[in-house]
A and B are shown apart, each in its own frame.
Chain A
Amino acid sequence: MTKRKMFLRMITASLLRRRSRMLIALLSIAIGATILSGLVTIYYDVPRQMGAQFRSYGANMILLAKEGQTLTADTMQKALDVFPEEQLVGATPYRYVRLDMTSRQQSFTTAGTDFDEVQKTSPYFSVEGEYPREDKEILVGKEIADTIGAKAGSYIQLTWRPSVTVNENASDDWIGGAKLSGSAEGFNAGIVVVEAELDDEGRIARLTIDASSQTPEIGGQVGTDKNFQSRFIGKKLPVTLGEDVDAVSGATISSQAVVDALNNAHSITKGTAAAERSGYFSVTGILVTGGEEESYIYMKLRDLEDLTQDKNLDVAELSISANAEQLEKYVSEIDKADTGVMARLVKRVTRSETAVLGKLQALVFLVTVVVLLLTTICVSTTMMAVVSERRREIGLRKALGAPDSSIRAEFLGEGMFLGGLGGVLGALLGFVFAQVVSVNVFGSSITFQPLLLPVTLLMSMLIAAVSCLLPIKRAVAIDPALVLKGE
């Protein structure tokens, strides 16, 4: 029999025949290792999992069209390519249009969107009733619903009016006697509406301007200032602001809107002009958010496209589960890419998330450190107790002529075996624990960190070895005679 065989035989005997003590030591190491691997797994997973929770604050990035470009479903999809699938929580397209509610002579901002994505990017939306599922179903903001008395189940007729409408009697080439009307966006998205009659030579003969959407006393003056209106009489279309006519002082934007409305009307011929379209929509739910969304109507993007015959988007809201640094990186990637789309961070959300998430991670980190420290000491004391118990055996072995190094090797071998076994057990149990936490707290599973197995193993072997060494060192230092004599 070789020495090594005897060494193994002694350790096996010690492990098997001192079962209860060994179980105590093993249990203690396994607990320590469980806590180690469990907490470390949680610590690494917290940012990801918590980040997902923070997505309940809604979008943290928006996509817009670059100047002179358009945002469409296609370009949006291209821009989304920069995100790894698991980080993209949701991407919601929005198209905002004002639609008239036929029965009340009022117009409301209506958003065309994708309701599946809305629920991902705006989880705080609370719907009394249900989200629309079929075509021609809409959500109505609470404020509108209160005003018009709509409930889930109501029907509403909404009409889209093209910004330019052409009088039925107008002739194809805009020669004399034609009547035309048009509208254009003025200050703060308010619509300015004009109606004009042209004389036989195609000059403006009569003009009425409705600028009630503009700020009274400022932009509103373009509707009330007779002097301004008179500047257009006798001018041929198209007209240029500043050359053909001067703006009302202090109301440049509203003045420009009047000019735009006239030019729009002029540039569109009768044959190609879009006719107004309308449809009946059934209300499936009332939207409550406590914010400005309560004054909007939401419908499917396709329904809105059917009304407007226009596939452009105004904005896309993205909810991305990533830290501030990554978000910045994605923004610059999207801006650089040649898709005509630019990205902006929603600062209020990203800023706060970085701050709070940082604190949370620091919290879990400190807790992990404290728990690990105390657990390590706990494991050590147990191991020390188990080894101290064998002082007399150490004395005997010394008396039999065992060199200190050999005694150390035996006890360390045993301790490290226990450490290894406890480590493997603990690493697996820890993963189970982390998984239970993750499923219970965050409702999602975690990925197994393969690196954690060897780390836990090494750590527990190290802790076991160190906590064995101390009592061994003490026992070895004592004269065997004293140990053997003492009762």
Chain B
Amino acid sequence: MSLLELKNISKIYGELKALDNVSIHVDKGEWVAIMGPSGSGKSTMMNIIGCMDKPSSGEVLLHGVDISKESSKALTDIRRDKIGLVFQQFHMVNYLTAVENVMVSQYYHSMPDEEEALEALGRVGLRERARHLPSQLSGGEQQRVCVARALINHPELILADEPTGNLDEANENIVLDLFRQLHDEGTTLIVVTHDPEVAEAAQRTIVLEHGRVAREIINENFEK
């Protein structure tokens, strides 16, 4: 059974159809990239998957349950319990240290545990930078903290919006390596990007154009 299924999703902003009758499905443990040029509807889809927006019509099935009609409070609960988010602009609380930023996620999810948070930072190679404030970290380091924050609660789905958009190549590779590790551990990953190189790292790429699914590419080179 698929973990996530979008059925005939449309999102209309006034005259503009950001998404037009889109249907996709993502299986558990799968690594999917969503690609497309600016204005193709990527961000709208990402917001709907991330439970930060609701579709104008259509169904969003998570574990086969439609969540498209849920209240925003219920959506917040789902986002907290099931989804880990990684943003293009990193978005850290700027007065909290790296480890504290990770712990914020734990705090809203269940119980803050500094050891566990430090371990997560260790996984992204930032254990010794744990006590630094965001302003003292480089962009790549900040994004790695965000990845650590996304995975700390063992979400069923990690949703990343242009995670490498603001990074140089070295850092991009570090982040992609992290995704690979997560994938190996069985985490479901959805990465929104317009960078073909990032998309190629995924198992499958869904290409959006003008709010519709233009095509799906199975990445042959994906190393299992």
B81 at the interface (CB under 8 A from A): yes
B87 touches A400 (CB 8 A): no
Q: Fill in one digit per residue for A135-170: 1 if any B CB lies within 8 Å of its CB, else 0.
A: 000000000000000000000000000000000000
8 Å CB contact of B108 from A13, A402, A479, A480 = A402
Q: Assess whether A13 is in contact with B111, with CB atoms less than 8 Å apart.
A: no
Q: Among the listed A393, A403, A481, which residue makes an inter-chain contact with B93, where contact means beta carbons less than 8 Å apart?
A: A393
Q: Is the CB of A401 within 8 A of B79?
A: yes
Interface size in chain B (residues, C-beta < 8 A):
36
The complex places the Cα of A3 from the Cα of B87 at a distance, in Å, of 26
Is A449 in contact with chain B by the CB < 8 A criterion?
no
In the complex, the answer to whether A1 meets B114 with C-beta atoms within 8 Å is yes
Residue of A nearest to B95 (CB): A17
Does A474 sit at the interface, judged by CB under 8 A? Answer: no
| Contact (Cβ within 8 A) A485 B43 | yes
For residue A7, which residue of chain B has the nearest CB? B107
Min CB gap A393→B, angstroms? 6
Is the Cβ of A403 less than 8 Å from the Cβ of B73?
A: yes
- One digit per residue, 1 when the CB lies within 8 angstroms of any chain B CB and 0 when it does not, for chain A 5-24 equals 11101100110011000000
Map CB proximity to A onto B64-100 as digits: 1 under 8 Å, 0 otherwise.
Answer: 0000000001001101110101010101111111001
Q: Are A400 and B108 also in contact (CB < 8 A) when A9-B100, A10-B100 are?
A: yes
Chain B residue contacts of A302, Cβ below 8 A: none
Q: How far is the CB of B125 from chain A (nearest CB, A)?
A: 22
Quote the shortest CB–CB distance from B104 to chain A (angstroms).
6
Which residues of chain A are near B85, meaning CB under 8 Å? 399-400
Q: How far is the CA of A119 from the CA of B113 in the complex (A)?
A: 77
A13 near B96 (CB under 8 angstroms)?
yes
Residues of B within 8 A of A400 (CB): 80, 85, 104-105, 108, 149
Contact string against B for A residues 393-410, beta-carbon threshold 8 Å, 1 for contact and 0 otherwise:
100111111111010000
**Alpha-carbon separation in the docked complex, A419 to B83 (Å):** 36
Q: Is the CB of A481 within 8 A of B109?
A: no
Q: Indicate the member of B93, B105, B114, B149 with the most A CB atoms within 10 Å.
A: B93
Is B53 close to A, CB under 8 A?
A: yes
CA–CA, A393 and B90, complex, Å: 12
At the interface, yes or no: A484 with Cβ under 8 Å from chain B? yes
Known: A1-B114, A406-B108. A479 touches B52 (CB 8 A): yes
Please give, as numbers and ranges, the residues of chain B lying within 8 Å of A393 by CB-CB distance. Answer: 93-94
Is B140 close to A, CB under 8 A? Answer: no
Partner of B76, one of A2, A10, A402: A402
Measured CA separation A403–B71 after assembly (Å)? 12
Contact B53 A481 (CB under 8 A): yes
* Cβ contact within 8 Å between A401 and B111: no
Question: Whole-angstrom distance from the CB of A403 to the nearest CB of chain B?
Answer: 6
In the complex, chain B residues whose CB is within 8 Å of the CB of A14 = 95
Contacts of A403 in B (CB 8 A): 73, 76-77, 108
Contacts of A479 in B (CB 8 A): 47, 52-53
In the complex, A397 Cα to B108 Cα: how many Å? 9
In the complex, chain A residues 1-53 whose Cβ is within 8 Å of any chain B Cβ:
1-3, 5-7, 9-10, 13-14, 17-18
Q: Is A266 an interface residue (CB 8 A)?
A: no
A 359-395 to B, binary, CB cutoff 8 A, 1 in contact else 0: 0000000000000000000000000000000001100
**Chain B: which residue is nearest A393 at the CB level?**
B93
B191 proximal to A (CB < 8 A): no
**B139 located at the interface, meaning its Cβ lies under 8 Å from any Cβ of chain A in the complex:** no
Measured in the bound complex, the distance between the Cα atoms of B36 and A156 in whole Å is 118
- Which residues in window 113-163 of B have CB below 8 A to A? 113-114, 133, 149
Question: Number of contacting residues on A, CB 8 A?
Answer: 29
Asked if A5 contacts B47 (CB within 8 A), the reply is no
Shortest distance from the beta carbon of B184 to any chain A beta carbon, whole Å:
25
Contact flag A401-B80 (CB < 8 Å), given A1-B111, A2-B111, A485-B43: yes
Chain A residues in 8 Å Cβ range of B114: 1
Which residues 177-213 of B sit at the A interface, judged by CB distance below 8 A? none
Across-interface contacts of A406 in B (CB, < 8 A): 108
Residues of chain A lying within 8 A (CB to CB) of residue B76: 398, 401-404
A3 to B100, CA, bound (A): 13
Bound-state Cα–Cα, A130 to B110, Å: 85
User: Interface 1/0s, chain B 43-68, versus A by CB < 8 A?
Assistant: 10001001011000000000000000
**Residue B29 interfacial (CB < 8 Å):** no
Closest CB-CB distance, A11 to chain B, in whole Å?
10
Contact of B112 among A3, A398, A399, A402 (CB under 8 A): A3
B103 within 8 Å of A by Cβ?
A: yes
* Residue of B80, B95, B106 contacting most chain A CB atoms (<10 Å): B95
Which residue from chain A places its CB closest to the CB of B113 in the assembled complex? A1
Are the CB atoms of B93 and A399 closer together than 8 Å? no
- State the CA gap A485–B106 with chains docked (Å): 23
Contacts of A484 in B (CB 8 A): 87, 89, 91
Beta-carbon contact of B52 and A10 below 8 Å: no
Residue among A2, A14, A484 with max Cβ neighbours from chain B (10 Å): A484
Flag if B112 contacts A5 (CB, 8 Å). Answer: yes
- Whole-angstrom distance between the Cβ of A395 and the nearest chain B Cβ: 8
Residue pair B111, A10 in contact (C-beta under 8 Å): no
A10 touches B104 (CB 8 A): yes
Given A399-B91, A479-B53, 16 new contacts (CB under 8 A) = A1-B114, A3-B111, A5-B112, A6-B103, A6-B107, A10-B100, A10-B104, A396-B91, A397-B104, A399-B79, A400-B105, A400-B108, A402-B76, A403-B73, A403-B108, A481-B43
Which B residues fall within an 8 A CB radius of A? 43, 47, 50, 52-53, 73, 76-77, 79-81, 83, 85, 87, 89, 91-97, 100, 103-109, 111-114, 133, 149
Chain A interface residues (CB < 8 Å from chain B): 1-3, 5-7, 9-10, 13-14, 17-18, 392-393, 396-404, 406, 479-481, 484-485
Q: Can you list 14 pairs linking A and B with CB atoms under 8 Å apart?
A: A2-B112, A6-B104, A10-B96, A10-B100, A10-B104, A17-B133, A399-B52, A400-B80, A400-B85, A401-B77, A401-B108, A401-B109, A404-B73, A479-B47
| Closest A-B pairs by Cβ, 3 of them | A401-B80, A17-B95, A481-B52
